[in-house]
């Protein structure tokens, strides 16, 4: 192990002290972490590439200025000393100490306090352009184009060897292997990236077969994604005649391209899922629609048959023939009732006649003659003589007996 009093000899000297990598890193760690200034360092810079690993985890970010940058970490026990809205582009003043990870041979700042010091230059540029394009209407939902429901050819503007392209191709093959993917190679980071992206969008619009264009790039810091925050790229997206899906960075990353594009996907993989319907799922849906259609058709046929039967029944009920049959039935019924009433009436009359005949027989005066009585009447008129004053002397009278009659003259 080296000490403060020891020095490394030049390569040309015969006698030299050789140390291991671990010893060298341990010595560097001892020197840096032992420095009074570096143990209590106040530093100001702009936050970039911010990552938060949850409420119980650590915070990682890069602190930078126009000339340099340094990696920073906030351990979980110091999270409450850091602004809760810490994000890329924010300018902060931090209190930190230098830490060395000697196994890997790199150092960082271990931040245990920070306060906001304003907005960084990139964040300010982002907000200025966002406000300008919003005022021009480039973010309006009315101007955004709808993605085709079943695209057959999709263009992917990305770094050809990047993971974003591989992810999109894999998901496209899984969801629908018949969809064709055209990769438009483009530089998506660094100097020349803006021109490369704009040329790629123009080239995609010159290809008549493309139905959707996906702008894809993996995650990175604010600087890594900055090409998609440039005005030229935003206007190229707005001028595109085919729908554009932006899939830039991770879910927490937002760029100007996301606001101008017709659809924003949180990741390149999500862009493939949004643009390409799953063929197997579509097949299941078609089967379901087919079954529902058949069931509906069967129900309609059954209902139509029942309705037809009802109409047929009503037609029969109101047809002239049916009315005639009904009237004939009524006539027969009335006739039967009349005949029955007539028979009953005749029976009643006959019974009454028999009764009257019996009564008449009982009241017949001639029946009295059989019991020894006689009836006397005027011979000329046949008037019954009831009193002596009914006759005069000299009149002929006739007496009716049970077995004959006698003619007499009154003296």
For residue range 324-354, list pLDDT tens digits in order. Answer: 777 888 888 888 888 888 888 888 888 888 8
Is the predicted pLDDT of residue 122 greater than 80, yes or no? no
Q: Strand 106-119 vs strand 69-74: parallel, antiparallel, or unpaired? A: parallel
How far apart are the C-alpha atoms of 196 and 235, rounded to whole Å? 14
CA 153 vs CA 41, 145, 207, 257, 292: distances in Å: 56, 17, 10, 22, 31
* Per-residue pLDDT tens digits for 60-76: 999 998 889 999 999 98
* Residue 154: CB atoms within 10 Å: 25
Q: Where are the beta strands (DSSP E) in 206-350?
A: 212-217, 244-248, 263-264
How far apart are the C-alpha atoms of 194 and 250, rounded to whole Å? 20
Which of 20, 9, 3 has the alpha carbon at shortest distance from 105? 20
* Residue 33: CB atoms within 10 Å: 15
Residue 381: per-residue pLDDT: 85
Angle, helix 193-206 to helix 231-239, in steps of 10 degrees: 10
Please check whether residue 159 is in contact with residue 218, taking contact to mean a CB–CB distance below 8 angstroms.
no
How far apart are the C-alpha atoms of 179 and 84, rounded to whole Å? 45
Class for domain 128-277, per CATH?
Answer: alpha beta
Q: Do domains 21-119 and 128-277 have the same CATH topology?
A: no
Place of tokens 């029976």: 347
Mean pLDDT score of the chain: 84
* Per-residue pLDDT tens digits for 175-200: 888 889 999 999 998 889 999 999 99
> For the chain, what are the domain ranges?
21-119, 128-277, 366-409
Work out whether the CA dihedral 34, 35, 37, 42 comes out positive or negative: negative
Residue 244: per-residue pLDDT: 95
How far apart are the C-alpha atoms of 88 and 340, rounded to whole Å? 111
Place of tokens 């440039």: 230
Q: Taking residues 238-248, what's their average pLDDT?
A: 93
The CATH architecture annotation of domain 21-119 reads: Beta Barrel (2.40)
pTM score of the predicted model: 0.51
Give percent above pLDDT 70 in the chain. Answer: 91
Helix-strand-coil percent breakdown of the chain, rounded to 5?
A: 45, 20, 30
Is the predicted pLDDT of residue 386 greater than 90, yes or no? no
Q: How far is CA 128 from the centre of its chain?
A: 39
Q: Where are the beta strands (DSSP E) in 120-209?
A: 153-158, 180-185
């Amino acid at each position: 192990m080296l000490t403060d009093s020891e020095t490394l000899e030049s390569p040309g000297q015969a006698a030299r002290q050789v140390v291991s990598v671990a010893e060298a890193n341990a010595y560097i760690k001892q020197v840096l972490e032992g420095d009074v200034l570096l143990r209590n360092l106040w530093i100001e810079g702009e936050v970039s590439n911010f990552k938060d690993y949850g409420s119980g985890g650590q915070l990682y970010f890069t602190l930078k200025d126009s000339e340099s940058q340094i990696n920073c970490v906030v351990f979980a026990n110091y999270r409450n000393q850091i602004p809760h809205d810490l994000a890329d582009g924010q300018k902060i003043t931090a209190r930190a100490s230098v830490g060395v990870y000697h196994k890997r041979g790199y150092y960082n700042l271990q931040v245990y306090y920070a306060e906001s010091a304003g907005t960084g230059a990139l964040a300010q540029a982002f907000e200025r352009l966002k406000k300008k394009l919003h005022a021009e209407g480039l973010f309006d939902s009315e101007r955004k184009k709808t993605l085709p429901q079943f695209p057959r050819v999709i263009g992917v503007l990305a770094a050809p060897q990047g993971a974003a392209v591989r992810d999109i191709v894999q998901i496209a093959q899984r969801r629908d292997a018949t969809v064709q993917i055209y990769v438009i190679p483009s530089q998506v980071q660094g100097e020349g990236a803006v021109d490369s992206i704009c040329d790629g969008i123009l080239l995609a619009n010159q290809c008549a077969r493309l139905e959707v264009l996906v702008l894809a790039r993996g995650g990175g810091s604010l600087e890594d994604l900055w090409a998609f925050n440039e005005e030229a790229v935003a206007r190229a997206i707005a001028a595109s005649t085919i729908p554009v899906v932006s899939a830039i960075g991770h879910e927490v990353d937002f760029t100007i391209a996301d606001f101008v594009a017709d659809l924003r996907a949180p990741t390149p993989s999500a862009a493939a899922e949004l643009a390409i319907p799953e063929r197997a799922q579509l097949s299941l849906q078609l089967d379901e629609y087919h079954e529902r259609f058949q069931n509906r058709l069967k129900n309609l046929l059954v209902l139509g048959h029942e309705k037809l039967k009802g109409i047929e029944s009503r037609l029969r009920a109101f047809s002239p023939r049916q009315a005639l049959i009904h009237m004939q039935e009524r006539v027969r019924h009335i006739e039967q009732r009349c005949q029955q009433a007539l028979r009953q009436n005749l029976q009643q009359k006959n019974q009454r006649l028999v009764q009257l005949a019996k009564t008449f027989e009982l009241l017949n005066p001639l029946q009295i003659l059989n019991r020894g009585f006689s009836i006397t009447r005027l011979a000329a008129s046949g008037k019954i003589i009831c009193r002596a004053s009914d006759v005069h002397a000299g009149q002929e009278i006739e007496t009716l007996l049970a077995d004959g009659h006698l003619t007499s003259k009154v003296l």
